[in-house]
Amino acid sequence: MALAAGRVGPADAIARFTLSATAGERARSPITEFHRWWAERATIERFSVTRVPFRELDGWHLAGDSENLVHRSGRFFSVEGLRYRGDGPGEQSQPIINQPEIGILGILVKEFDGVLHCLMQAKMEPGNVNTLQLSPTVQATRSNYTRVHQGNMPPYLEYFRGPDRGQVLVDVLQSEQGVWFWRKRNRNMIVHLTEDVPEHEDFHWLPLDQIHQLLKTDNLVNMDARTVLACMPLARPSTADCSPDDPFAWALLNSYDEELGLHTRTEILSWFTESQTRCEWSVQRIPLSEVTGWSWSDDDLAGGDEAPFRIIGVRVNAHNREVTNWSQPLLEPLGHGLAVFLAKSIGGVVHFLVQARKEPGLINVVEMAPTVQLPAVAGAVCDQGAVAYAMEAAAADPRRVRFDALLSEEGGRFHHGQTRYQIIEVGEEFPVEVPDEYCWMTAHQLMGLLDHSHYLNIEARTLLACVHSLW
Amino acid sequence: MALAAGRVGPADAIARFTLSATAGERARSPITEFHRWWAERATIERFSVTRVPFRELDGWHLAGDSENLVHRSGRFFSVEGLRYRGDGPGEQSQPIINQPEIGILGILVKEFDGVLHCLMQAKMEPGNVNTLQLSPTVQATRSNYTRVHQGNMPPYLEYFRGPDRGQVLVDVLQSEQGVWFWRKRNRNMIVHLTEDVPEHEDFHWLPLDQIHQLLKTDNLVNMDARTVLACMPLARPSTADCSPDDPFAWALLNSYDEELGLHTRTEILSWFTESQTRCEWSVQRIPLSEVTGWSWSDDDLAGGDEAPFRIIGVRVNAHNREVTNWSQPLLEPLGHGLAVFLAKSIGGVVHFLVQARKEPGLINVVEMAPTVQLPAVAGAVCDQGAVAYAMEAAAADPRRVRFDALLSEEGGRFHHGQTRYQIIEVGEEFPVEVPDEYCWMTAHQLMGLLDHSHYLNIEARTLLACVHSLW
């Protein structure tokens, strides 16, 4: 009945993640070694990406009456339409990416000299602004591993599937962008190995603290890595490992204490239930032909001046991917996004101000989001709180901006999609009382929700991973 | 930062529920007092229900092209269509009830002499086989409390809403029947009061152990009460309160121990993630006019010989409901359902065999269900395991049938919908090894999942409440 010898129980997993997040000198190699490897990876040209007109997208076409943009295999993904009735009068419609299959975003972890390290990949994606980004061990759509495109299997996939896989420490479905994807979910996995695995030149072992520090570099740690990192629960680090030099940083450590918090877990779950109950949005997928206000040119599918994105086509010539050449559509956000957690020390404990935000492509419409997330969703009421918090973020004293980086969204689907992620400290004068759609939570409380689907949206998960970089 | 004085923390709530579930002589009144009250309630005739042709359903009509059966207010619910592609080839379609608004199923709890009691209601519903059933304190659709039908507000609703409500101990959205409802969810709430509340002749205070015992009576505790009861977490009772006389009953108590179990919580969550990932069903709501194989007569909307239900109309004359007279459609299941948990002592701990079951009306399609649940869903592959377990249940030695009652499904939507709920002990010879779609879980593990939506389906939740009656 006891756990099998050598297996990692849940509490033990937290202890190992926490030790890895304070590895310091105990790392297998110093961060300089990472930079040397990374620079070398970056010199190898493996990819060229060219914008092409839609008629040159090999294998893609507009399907019959729906005029959905689909692949001839019927798999991968398609560009379809979405119509919804939001908070106000009238309906909105827009194109949306439909990718019903659930992929795997997985990180292999293994101890070296007692310190857990993550096997991270230097991976290229066609939409990346800088081609190469630091990615999970495995990033595989179901089409990848069921071999729809007849390419090679991604390395290390076998450790995540089938009877011989390693011990699963995390395995949870998490949503992706609810304004760009129709009910997309991926499987976020962390698998623990004790045996040796083959080395591969595109992969490098890093302890968590090194990865957390790399989050501060613009466009380095990719979205898929960030969401998996967010699902690794951490305990409060010991002060021997982590001894901060200002009151905010001390209060941040208290945010990892399971006993502390303005609200109980029951209150937080009840607040979220209330937010879901209040939401009366109705959403339906429609044929792309029925989306209003959007039109095709040779080169793009574009909305009016207010449209936050357009759809384009690219051709990719690659040298070391599963298939060598392909072409595909990409969604190009027009302008950078913004995602901000306002953070306040309440009773000596840092709390993050979480928003119950509606996005039409999310399965439950409502998920927990950053305090400020822009662009706003069309059809959502922008309440006084949202405006006030956005102004607070914009006017913040730079010394209170605790985290600030421009990070990329998924380069396999989005062309140069970048979001500015910020964690901004607010002061004593900032009210604890907040509007109904907002709730203060500690880091511990946020982490606890990530055992389950449908709580934190992808932007909130990225910011939670960034919180860990402030130790 | 500490919880306000007098408020009930999560661990404390579990202790109070557990004490109430072993109240015995500490109850406010003996069970005979309940029966006296119940017999008195049953003598008051408040309801007459008459089958009527559809054309006599006041306020209901078939809407335009869709031919959906709708109410003129546009609210309450409608009968629409569902089409899905399941495991096999071909598509299924069927009528489905669409009720997008989220209602409240709430039980008020309060201590008398230190023992928590639940305020239960003697409530009539038009579809109940016996008219009157034991119901939660509040059972209110959003139409009820936003006054769409201009009736009186349900009693005690104010304790569940707004700033003056009591302390929320449980507040979670849970699904309802995924073969009859389109993505229906209700808010399951338990609210704790310290102040006195007005008495009402249709309401009675009961400790949990009395309610658990009443679950054994056919068609007494209604579906809405059962789902809320299932969301009350219980600890292992002390042997002073509960001293069973056979090995299975001892092993059942061990099932409430948080340290014991064949699988870890992480393994269970991973098993469920895997089940969801494997599911490739595609489901869409369609106009009722597009459902194939169903046809209207004056009196019903019926499918072929294989159809598991039909839609009928009733007129209700009531005396003490929010509105006095109304008419409505009801879904009439054709034959009783069956829901069985096979229970096995593994290493001295009772485990229940849980099935990852697909139902087209569930938001995520897959939820955790009883070992055996009949009728089966059209379009779902019936694997060897399902057949073997159904045969095991059917052939069980009566001494191993630990729980057996015929209980009603929601009488506000279903006409005489009844399901036989059974918990059946299996012996040493029954294999611990089970097919991929099944997983052994303890009572503690099942309860832990009910803080969250989308895990246990409504039949599994009823059975979990019934497990508590075996102490």
DSSP string for residues in B193-239: E-S-----TTEEEEEHHHHHHHTTSTT-B-HHHHHHHHTS--PPPPT
Residues facing residue A116 across a β-bridge: A111
Interchain CB distance below 8 Å, B280 and A170: no
Out of B171, B264, B276, the one facing A269 most closely (by C-beta) is: B171
Place of tokens 């976020």: A188
Buried b (16+ CB within 10 A) or exposed e, B300-334: bbbbeeeebbbbbbbbbebeebbeeebbbbbbbbe
Interchain CB distance below 8 Å, B100 and A269: no
Interchain CB distance below 8 Å, A276 and B173: yes
Mean pLDDT for B260-289 is 95
C-alpha span between B277 and B286 (Å, rounded):
25
Give B1-29 pLDDT, tens digit per residue. Answer: 444 445 677 889 999 999 999 999 999 99
The pLDDT, as a whole number, for residue B44 is 85
Give B39-91 pLDDT, tens digit per residue. Answer: 999 988 778 899 999 999 999 999 999 999 999 988 889 999 999 999 988 99
The pLDDT, as a whole number, for residue B149 is 53
Contact A183/B at CB under 8 A = no
The pLDDT, as a whole number, for residue B2 is 43
Q: Give just the sign of the alpha carbon dihedral A207, A213, A218, A223.
A: positive
Whole-structure pTM value: 0.95
Interchain CB distance below 8 Å, A273 and B9: no
C-alpha span between B332 and B123 (Å, rounded):
20
A-chain residue closest to B100, CA distance: A280
CA nearest A282: which of A435, A87, A469? Answer: A87
Phi, psi (degrees; rounded to nearest 5) at B465: -60, -40
Tell whether omega for the bond before A375 is within 30 degrees of 0, i.e. cis: yes
* Cα B298 to chain centroid, rounded: 32
Tell me the two tokens of residue B214. Answer: 């009443």
B-chain residue closest to A280, CA distance: B101
CATH topology of domain B247-282+335-468: Nucleoside Triphosphate Pyrophosphohydrolase (3.90.79)
Q: Which residues of chain B make contact with A261, given a CB cutoff of 8 A?
A: 1
DSSP B337: E
A-chain residue closest to B103, CA distance: A277
C-alpha span between A439 and A454 (Å, rounded):
17
Contact B43/A at CB under 8 A = no
B-chain residue closest to A277, CA distance: B102
Tell me the two tokens of residue A99. Answer: 């990718």
Q: Give just the sign of the alpha carbon dihedral B30, B32, B38, B41.
A: negative
Place of tokens 């039908």: B149
Contact A257/B at CB under 8 A = no
CA nearest A182: which of A85, A286, A303? Answer: A286
Average pLDDT across chain B, whole number = 93
C-alpha span between B141 and B455 (Å, rounded):
23
**Do residues A9 and A3 touch, judged by C-beta distance below 8 A?**
yes
Name the burial class of residue B112, with classes exposed (0-12), middle (13-18) and buried (19+) by CB atoms within 10 angstroms of its CB. Answer: middle
* Cα A199 to chain centroid, rounded: 27
The residue of B16, B257, B264 whose CB has the most chain A CBs within 10 angstroms, and thus the best one to mutate to test that interface, is: B264
CA nearest A85: which of A277, A279, A283, A286? Answer: A283
Q: Which residues of chain A make contact with B284, given a CB cutoff of 8 A?
A: 285
* Residue ranges of domains in chain A: 247-282+335-468
Find the largest Cα–Cα distance for chain B: 65
> What percentage of chain A reaches a pLDDT higher than 70?
96
Interchain CB distance below 8 Å, B273 and A454: no
The pLDDT, as a whole number, for residue B5 is 46
Mean pLDDT for B179-190 is 97
Beta pairing, strands B103-112 & B185-193? parallel
The pLDDT, as a whole number, for residue B3 is 41
Q: Residues 91 to 120 of A: which have CB under 8 A from any B CB?
A: 100-102
**Tens of pLDDT, residue by residue, chain A (471 residues):** 444 445 677 889 999 999 999 999 999 999 999 999 999 999 887 778 999 999 999 999 999 999 999 999 888 899 999 999 999 889 999 999 999 999 999 999 999 999 999 999 999 999 999 999 999 999 998 777 776 555 668 899 999 987 778 899 999 999 999 999 999 999 999 999 999 999 999 999 999 999 999 999 999 999 999 999 999 999 999 877 777 788 999 999 999 999 999 999 999 999 999 999 999 999 999 999 999 999 999 999 999 888 999 999 999 987 765 567 899 999 999 999 999 999 999 999 999 999 999 999 999 999 999 999 999 898 888 777 888 999 999 999 999 999 999 999 999 999 999 999 999 999 999 999 999 999 999 999 999 999 999 999 999 999 999 999 999
Give B417-456 pLDDT, tens digit per residue. Answer: 999 999 999 999 999 999 999 999 999 999 999 999 999 9
The pLDDT, as a whole number, for residue B111 is 97
Q: Quick check: helix, strand or coil at residue A238?
A: coil
Residue B175 confidence class, pLDDT cut points 50, 70, 90: very high
Q: Residues 8 to 27 of B: which have CB under 8 A from any A CB?
A: 9-10, 13
CA nearest B417: which of B407, B425, B427, B426? Answer: B407
**Do residues A223 and A410 touch, judged by C-beta distance below 8 A?**
yes
Buried b (16+ CB within 10 A) or exposed e, B42-58: eeeeebebeebebeebe
* Cα B188 to chain centroid, rounded: 10
Q: Quick check: helix, strand or coil at residue A427?
A: coil
Contact B351/A at CB under 8 A = no
Q: Which residues of chain A make contact with B262, given a CB cutoff of 8 A?
A: 1
The pLDDT, as a whole number, for residue A62 is 95
The pLDDT, as a whole number, for residue A5 is 46
**Do residues B320 and B46 touch, judged by C-beta distance below 8 A?**
yes
B-chain residue closest to A282, CA distance: B100
Place of tokens 């593994």: B346
Q: Quick check: helix, strand or coil at residue B359?
A: coil
* Cα A255 to chain centroid, rounded: 22
Contact A436/B at CB under 8 A = no
DSSP B154: P
C-alpha span between B363 and B452 (Å, rounded):
14
Q: Is B219 left (phi over 0), alpha (psi -120 to 50) or beta?
A: left
CA nearest B120: which of B39, B63, B201? Answer: B201
The pLDDT, as a whole number, for residue B408 is 98
C-alpha span between A350 and A264 (Å, rounded):
15
Asked whether residue B323 carries a pLDDT value surpassing 70, the answer given is no
Give A231-274 pLDDT, tens digit per residue. Answer: 999 999 987 777 778 899 999 999 999 999 999 999 999 999 99
C-alpha span between A363 and B467 (Å, rounded):
32
Contact B347/A at CB under 8 A = yes
Give B329-385 pLDDT, tens digit per residue. Answer: 999 999 999 999 999 999 999 999 999 999 999 999 999 999 999 998 988 887 778
